[in-house]
Structure 1
Amino acid sequence: MMVSRKEVVRAARAWIGTPYVHQASCRGAGTDCLGLVRGVWRELFHGEPEIIPNYSRDWSEAEGREELWTSARRHLTEKPRESLALGDVILFRMKEGCVAKHLGIVTQTGPSACFTHAYSGHSVIESPLSAPWRKRIVALFEFPRS
């Protein structure tokens, strides 16, 4: 099955307005940033690649382990950060010296680049990929192409 970048964008945008709920992944009812990526995966590939264990809001920070980055590498294709394209999954480090633990999906490229994401205190929204967000990017991935 071939998944197009436009299909990824369409699936991600369908989640806009879903309330933020930690550890959830149910379009329209609640999700966090990982739940958004999981939900898009489920729609595109008809299931999840692995069972996600419970995680706290400060997951893997105390140990300093890059759990989210490691998991993304198991299921997505890592690519150079400079090669941003529609449908890519972006991994962010929100604070210097902390583990990377925020995800978004690129929904527009070019000078008006945007990404869809969920974070505490907000629903799923489409945000400009502004300079403050760009400086937090630590990795870029694409969904499997087949």
Structure 2
Amino acid sequence: MSEQVPWPVIEARRWIGTPYVHQASVRLAGCDCLGLIRGVWRARLGAEPTRVPAYTRDWAEPQGDERLWRAAARYLRSKSLTDACAGDVVLFRMRPGAVAKHLGILSTQCERPAFIHAYSGRGVVESPMSIPWQRRVVACFAFP
């Protein structure tokens, strides 16, 4: 018996191939990693709970402000990393000591851990959750 694919994974996969466009959130036209999460939210939950202010590519790195982490904790349901499962949103810290500023949605490919995300030069893709990516995960959240 195969497991049912969670709705966030089904919706995020509809976005695969969307080009990377900083601050955008329109399926097939363009999005960044936050835009993907916003689009998945709108597809299932309706209007976004707040307007997302303009943001730079470096987020709040110079100030060391975990702005994205706080926003995720406010609008999504925090989970333990050990309880992470397909459909959950994961937050990545791209470099030790830097603020967490990349998001993805957990999935599986051929029964192996994977995640769907958007990044510069690639757009929305489904990537294996390799050891280097696993090491960067700092938080997990579920859609409400």
Question: Do they fold alike, i.e. is TM over 0.5?
Answer: yes
The separation in 2 between residues aligned to 1:97 and 1:111, in whole angstroms, is 32
Secondary structure (helix, strand or coil) at the match of 2:23 reads coil
CA distance in 1 between counterparts of 2:39 and 2:67 reads 19
Give me the whole-angstrom Cα distance separating, in 2, the residues matched to 1:85 and 1:78. Answer: 13
* Aligned partner letter, 2:101: K
Partner residue in 2 for 1:39: 39
Residue by residue, what CA displacement relative to the aligned partner does 1:18-72 show, whole Å, maximum 9, x if unpaired? Answer: 0000000000000000000000000011110110000000110011000000000
- Pairing 1:73–2:84 present: no
Q: Which amino acid aligns with 1:14?
A: R
Contact 1:32 1:119 in 2 (8 A): yes
Cα distance in structure 1, aligned partners of 2:94 and 2:54: 21
Q: 3-state SS of the aligned residue for 2:121?
A: coil
Measured in 2, the distance between the counterparts of 1:104 and 1:122 equals 14
Cα–Cα, structure 1 residues 109 and 142, in superposed 2: closer, same or farther, change >3 Å? farther
Residue type of the alignment partner of 1:39: G
Q: CA deviation at 1:5?
A: 6.3
8 Å contact kept, 2:109–2:128: no
SS of the residue corresponding to residue 36 of structure 1 reads: helix
2:115–2:126 contact (8 Å) kept in structure 1 = yes
RMSD of aligned C-alpha atoms? 1.5
Query: Aligned letter for 1:63?
Result: Q
SS in 1 for 2:41: helix
AA at the equivalent of 2:92: F
Q: For the Cα contact (< 8 Å) 1:84–1:109, is it kept in 2?
A: no
* Whole-Å separation in 2 of the counterparts to 1:134 and 1:19: 24
What stretches of structure 2 of length at least 5 have no aligned partner? Answer: none
Equivalent position of 1:106 in the other structure: 106
Q: Which residue type is aligned with residue 13 of structure 2?
A: R
The equivalent residue for 1:29 is: 29
Aligned to 1:87: 87
Residue type matched to 2:72 in 1? A
- Please report the TM-score for the alignment, with normalisation by the length of structure 2: 0.94
Detail structure 1 runs of 4+ shifted over 6 Å in the superposition. none
Kindly provide the amino acid, as one letter, of the partner of residue 135 in structure 2. K
TM-fit CA distance, 1:83: 1.3
Measured against aligned partners, the alpha-carbon deviations of 1:100-144 in whole angstroms (never above 9, x if no partner) come to: 000000112896111000011111000000100000000000001
Q: How many residues align?
A: 141
